[in-house]
C-alpha cells in the first residue's frame, strides 16, 4: 500500500474538514477516498454495518486492532455513550501519528486512546495499562493473517466476556480463511455474516463477520 497516503489524507482533512466536527471529518475522508484515491479504511458502506452492530452492543470498553488513519475509531467514537472509551492498537508509528492528528482534529482525543505496538506485544498488558478488565466490543481490521492468533489471545487473556461482540473486516477480501473457519466451527461463538463490498469499490465483494462470544 502506498505509504504516502496517510500524510495526504491528513493534509486533506486539515484543509477541508471542520475542526471538532467528527461527522464532517468522516464524510470528508469518504469523499476523498471515493474521488481521489482508495485507502484501506472500512469505508462508508461497511462502516454503516459496523455502526449498527456497535449501537446494538452499546459498549463501555471498546478495543480496535488496526487503527490505520483512525477512520473506524472516529466512526465508533461518534456513537460512544457517556464515559465509554475506545482503545486502538496500531503497529505502524507513521499511521499512529497520522491517526492521532486526525482524531484530535475531530475533537475525539479524550474518547480514543491509541496504543502503539504490535498486537501480540500490547495485548498481554492492556488490561492493567488501560484499567479495563474485559472489552464489550472488538473491531478487528489489521493484518489478515493475524486475526485468528489475536482472537485466541483475547480469549486466553480473558479480555473478552460472555456476550462480547467481535466484528471482523475483510472476511472475503483480502480474506482471513483461518479466522472464519475458527469462529464458525467454535461452539463459543455465534456468528453472523454481513455481505458487502470492498471499501470505495462498487464491483468487488467483501463482508464483515460478527461473532458473539458465548463461552
Ligand X SMILES: Cn1cnc(CNC(=O)c2cc(-c3ccc(F)cc3)cc(O)c2O)c1
Measure Cα distances from 172 to 57, 69, 93, 205, 206 in Å: 24, 22, 28, 7, 5
Residue 136: name the closest of 178, 166, 114 by CA: 166
Question: Which residue, 75 or 142, has its beta carbon nearer to ligand X?
Answer: 142
Query: Which residue out of 46, 111, 136, 144 is catalytically annotated?
Result: 144
68-103 b/e (C-beta count within 10 Å ≥ 16 → b): bbbbbbbbbbbbbeeebbbbbbbbbeebbbbbbbbb
Question: Which residue, 136 or 206, has its beta carbon nearer to ligand X?
Answer: 206
Residue 56 among the catalytic residues: no
- For residues 133 and 161, give the distance between their C-alpha atoms in angstroms, rounded to a whole number: 9
User: Residue 125's CB: how many other CB atoms inside 10 A?
Assistant: 12
Residue 169 among the catalytic residues: yes
The string of DSSP letters for 134-163 reads -EEEEEE-S-GGGHHHHHHHHHHTT-EEEE
**Residue 108: contacted member of Mg ion, ligand X, none (CB under 5 to 8 Å, by partner type):** none
DSSP-derived 3-state class of residue 131: coil
- For residues 190 and 213, give the distance between their C-alpha atoms in angstroms, rounded to a whole number: 7
**Residue 66: contacted member of ligand X, Mg ion, none (CB under 5 to 8 Å, by partner type):** ligand X
* The binder of ligand X chosen from 30, 64, 136, 141 (CB under 6 A): 141
Question: Which residue, 90 or 169, has its beta carbon nearer to Mg ion?
Answer: 169
Residue 168: name the closest of 186, 178, 90, 2 by CA: 178
> Site mask, ligand X, residues 9-48, x = CB under 6 A?
-------------------------------x--------
Residue 141 among the catalytic residues: yes
CB 89 within 8 A of CB 121: no
**Residue 139: contacted member of ligand X, Mg ion, none (CB under 5 to 8 Å, by partner type):** none
* Closest distance of CB 199 from Mg ion, Å: 7
* The binder of ligand X chosen from 66, 73, 89, 147 (CB under 6 A): 66
Question: Which residue, 110 or 121, has its beta carbon nearer to ligand X?
Answer: 121
> Site mask, ligand X, residues 142-171, x = CB under 6 A?
xx-------------------------xx-
Residues annotated as catalytic (active site), given as ranges: 141, 144, 169-170, 199
Residues that bind ligand X (CB under 6 A): 1, 40, 66, 68, 141-143, 169-170, 174, 198-199
Amino acid at each position: 500500500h502506498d505509504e504516502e497516503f496517510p500524510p495526504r489524507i491528513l493534509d486533506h482533512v486539515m484543509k477541508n474538514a471542520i475542526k471538532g466536527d467528527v461527522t464532517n471529518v468522516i464524510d470528508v475522508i469518504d469523499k476523498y477516498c471515493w474521488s481521489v484515491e482508495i485507502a484501506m479504511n472500512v469505508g462508508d458502506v461497511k462502516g454503516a454495518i459496523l455502526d449498527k452492530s456497535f449501537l446494538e452492543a452499546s459498549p463501555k470498553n471498546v478495543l480496535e486492532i488496526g487503527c490505520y488513519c483512525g477512520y473506524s475509531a472516529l466512526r465508533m467514537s461518534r456513537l460512544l455513550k457517556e464515559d465509554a472509551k475506545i482503545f486502538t492498537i496500531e503497529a505502524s508509528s507513521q499511521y499512529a501519528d497520522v491517526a492521532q492528528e486526525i482524531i484530535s482534529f475531530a475533537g475525539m482525543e479524550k474518547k480514543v486512546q491509541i496504543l502503539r505496538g504490535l498486537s501480540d506485544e500490547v495485548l498481554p498488558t492492556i488490561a492493567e495499562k488501560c484499567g479495563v478488565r474485559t472489552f464489550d466490543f472488538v473491531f478487528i481490521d489489521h493484518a489478515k493473517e493475524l486475526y485468528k492468533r489475536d482472537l485466541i489471545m483475547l480469549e486466553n487473556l480473558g479480555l473478552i466476556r460472555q456476550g462480547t461482540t467481535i466484528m471482523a473486516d475483510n472476511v472475503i477480501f483480502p480474506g482471513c480463511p483461518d479466522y472464519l473457519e475458527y469462529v464458525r466451527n467454535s461452539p463459543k461463538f455465534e456468528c453472523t455474516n454481513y455481505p458487502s463490498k470492498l471499501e470505495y469499490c462498487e464491483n468487488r465483494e467483501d463482508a464483515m463477520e460478527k461473532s458473539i462470544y458465548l463461552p
